[in-house]
Amino acid sequence: MSTRAVLNDADITRALTRIAHEILESNKGPDDLILLGIPTRGVTLARRLAALIERFAGTVVPTGALDVTMYRDDLSQHPTRTPRPTEIPPGGIDGKVVVLVDDVLFSGRSIRAALDALNDIGRPAAVRLAILVDRGHRELPIRPDFVGKNLPSSRSERVNVRLAEIDGGADEVTIEAREDER
């Protein structure tokens, strides 16, 4: 395997800062906004975005976690997934603008599962999608509203996001290619 760095700590901070500004602009401020991260790294990214939005707008934006494990369509292929807790902010999602946050968008199947999970929880006014890395290869008609980095890749490559809060060390995004693919 050959690994190369795509984003470093400063790049990720810059991307999240830009996404936070874009969310505020798109929503015309922080009112009725909720950020829901998809475990694992999406939750950390949602919290970081909420902190940035609070810094820029002076308002606390509710954050939570949306576990999509039981809504996935690949459980028969990967049955050992461990569900994570879903944490919806007090007041729920009805009538709110929900921004789903995840680290990497690939096939779109996790986001489809997230939309199904949201449907069981309530009825938001709108759902937006914020992604740190969009690597393409969509299998479903899903497009993010906010993207940190578009990263064209081959299906055989693997994109890894490491965040200090979860993985220790520095934040980084790397891409791994098999030696025979280079």
Q: What is the mean pLDDT of the chain?
A: 93
Each residue's pLDDT tens digit, 43-62: 999 999 999 999 999 999 99
So where are the chain's domains? Answer: 12-70+86-154
Alpha helices in the chain (DSSP H): 9-27, 41-57, 109-121, 164-167
State the Cα–Cα distance between residues 96 and 179, nearest whole angstrom.
Answer: 47
The structure's pTM equals 0.94
Which CATH fold would you assign to the domain 12-70+86-154? Rossmann fold (3.40.50)
State the Cα–Cα distance between residues 56 and 142, nearest whole angstrom.
Answer: 29
**What is the structure's pLDDT at 83?**
84
Reported as half-sphere exposure (CB side, CA atoms, 13 A), residue 64 has a value of 19
